[in-house]
Structure 1
């Protein structure tokens, strides 16, 4: 049985190459849901800063009207929707108790005084709405979230090739839906589609461990003639990206602990002045890539709905690229030997 499960997993995950960057595609358990297309680096998932897609290989950006603009725009739309849906699926394994308490027949109304089971049911129903918006394809979305009596279902949803934006949460039954329409849409999803969503979630990294690369973007600051190189300040690492934040790092040695100094720290990329001048003309921002192992550690709490993650470094080598597609390698640093200063 276990062998059969892994065979199914291999069939549902594939690497697809789009232009410069291969992506890992997670096929849904049925055509009622969207596929999930996530960015990769060297065949493994890419966390943190993401490829924005619109930077061409020659350093210029796609503009409206350029050949390939709409294909790139659709790909970007799919990736944004995929990242959101992927995280929602990962969170489901930590919500089983809450979903078990969910009333699948009627809405649990929010009241001033509620029992714990009622709170769980109400919260689970809100999360179910988020899942349905994130995962359903256009046909199912129209079925669940459009009220033809009040709106044009064709224009109310993204054009073919585009996906629902994560922040756009439509209500059950659509605009102006009656209580009967809302309940009918909710129970339809719960009875017909929710079991497949639960099964899909259980197949994604069931050991709660993911391998991949964590990417941070930094601005190239002024050259330090005295030190003979460029300093990269860790305060620039703290912008949260896909799945991980720099604060999630679990240091394993003294060098890694320096990187998490509470006052911030800086890493030196040594470079001769003559090379640095040419380097600064070509690169205003660069991308640091860390090989990492990620652990999923539950939720902050079921009301906050924030996935807790930590990661450790799988290699001391930091690879540096000059483009967000990570195709133009410019340097490497070893955390064990690089100069690190703290403030």
Structure 2
């Protein structure tokens, strides 16, 4: 009888310990599944509820260009599972940030197309032809750009009103079920709309909303400069024992690239010119071998952060985009090991000690 009681007591103790251990393991995971808010962002408020606010990522309070934070990439280079991404609301957040980047670029493009927009035909569509006068070409270009901008920046209410055809579409878009895709441009009046509905949607949008959009675009960066940070990423390769460091690529990037490219850098010093040389592809992050071994076991990705000043120059006629360049505002490249740029792990100085290849 005594042995039976002792066995029962031992079983109860084991069960309690096991239950407590399981709870201890599960609780942190459960607590970590929270909807991610919009931290480290700057919002350009829209002038009315007819347009979406523009939410852009920042670093140290300045706009973040180059590689963006996906909120799903782990320090070892792997990604959070799709289940966790959905549970945290990361997929929705990234969709909204992507919408903002698209709308921001198109709104800024409108700013520098002000002269082109003066020839916009507001009453009818301009048809492309083999031979066109300059004002006709301008009108066609402005109409095409306005269609992209309206798709990108209009509220869901306006999307339902101007870009949805009840005969072929559900036309019940909400902010939860409508996601804008850069390559998928809805036509005026919606898919399958006849020429009367298309023109009515276009002329109505122009008369009701064009002036507001033009005023908003004109208010952006009135001095044609943007103080910002550019983020480049590089995988940590093998250690170079001869040069005592890791080579970091200046040309690798991920799909979430935004706004400006590294080749737009205008160097101001001889050391900066080393970065823009056609023979330069990587810079050396110097580190003693005895430190590098442990460092390489923990770190797989490096995020290089440059403080920059962007100069907006107008329209690039060859790429139908914004013509821009940038200069460095600091001779220090900050290094981080996670895409949220929370933990700084080192620096590279752009001076006589800079090593490139």
Matched-pair contact (CA < 8 Å) for 2:226–2:310: yes
Matched ranges for 1:84-163 at <5 A? 84-154=102-172, 157=173, 160=176, 163=179
Task: After TM superposition, give the deviation of residue 166 of structure 1 in Å.
Answer: 1.8
Matched ranges for 1:202-241 at <5 A? 202-236=218-252, 241=257
Query: Which of 206, 215, 218 is the aligned partner of 1:199?
Result: 215
Cα gap change, 1:88 to 1:222, in 2 (>3 Å): same
- Comparing 252-261 and 18-27, the one that deviates more: 18-27
- Comparing 70-79 and 333-342, the one that deviates more: 333-342
Rounded to whole Å, the distance in 1 between the matches of 2:207 and 2:38 is 41
Q: Name 1:47's counterpart in structure 2.
A: 65
Task: Look up the SS of the partner of 2:273 in the other structure.
Answer: helix
Task: After TM superposition, give the deviation of residue 44 of structure 1 in Å.
Answer: 0.6
Cα gap change, 1:260 to 1:58, in 2 (>3 Å): closer
Query: Which of 29, 33, 54 is the aligned partner of 2:47?
Result: 29
Task: Look up the SS of the partner of 2:263 in the other structure.
Answer: helix
Rounded to whole Å, the distance in 2 between the matches of 1:96 and 1:23 is 28
Rounded to whole Å, the distance in 1 between the matches of 2:280 and 2:90 is 37
Structure 1: gaps (5+ residues): 1-17
Task: After TM superposition, give the deviation of residue 274 of structure 1 in Å.
Answer: 2.3
Matched-pair contact (CA < 8 Å) for 2:337–2:345: yes
Matched-pair contact (CA < 8 Å) for 1:77–1:162: no
Matched-pair contact (CA < 8 Å) for 2:271–2:354: no
Query: Which of 304, 319, 324 is the aligned partner of 1:309?
Result: 324
Task: Look up the SS of the partner of 2:331 in the other structure.
Answer: strand
Deviations 1:292-331 (A, max 9, x none): 0011011112x74211111000000000000111112111
Q: Name 1:255's counterpart in structure 2.
A: 271
Deviations 1:32-63 (A, max 9, x none): 11111000001110011111122368987433
Task: After TM superposition, give the deviation of residue 337 of structure 1 in Å.
Answer: 4.0
Q: Could you say what the CA RMSD is over the residues aligned between the two structures, in angstroms? A: 2.3
- Comparing 93-102 and 207-216, the one that deviates more: 93-102
Q: Name 2:100's counterpart in structure 1.
A: 82
- Comparing 116-125 and 239-248, the one that deviates more: 239-248
- Comparing 92-101 and 161-170, the one that deviates more: 161-170
1:336 aligns with 2:337: no
- Comparing 256-265 and 311-320, the one that deviates more: 256-265
Matched ranges for 1:170-185 at <5 A? 170-185=186-201
Task: Look up the SS of the partner of 2:306 in the other structure.
Answer: strand
- Comparing 59-68 and 164-173, the one that deviates more: 59-68
Matched-pair contact (CA < 8 Å) for 1:24–1:40: yes
Rounded to whole Å, the distance in 2 between the matches of 1:65 and 1:240 is 21
Cα gap change, 1:60 to 1:234, in 2 (>3 Å): closer
Max Rg structure: 2
Rounded to whole Å, the distance in 1 between the matches of 2:266 and 2:260 is 12
Deviations 1:208-236 (A, max 9, x none): 10001110011111101121111223343
Task: Look up the SS of the partner of 1:210 in the other structure.
Answer: strand
Task: Look up the SS of the partner of 1:327 in the other structure.
Answer: coil
Matched-pair contact (CA < 8 Å) for 1:173–1:181: yes
Task: Look up the SS of the partner of 2:356 in the other structure.
Answer: strand
Rounded to whole Å, the distance in 2 between the matches of 1:114 and 1:305 is 18
Using structure 2 for the length normalisation, give the TM-score: 0.85
Matched-pair contact (CA < 8 Å) for 1:80–1:166: no
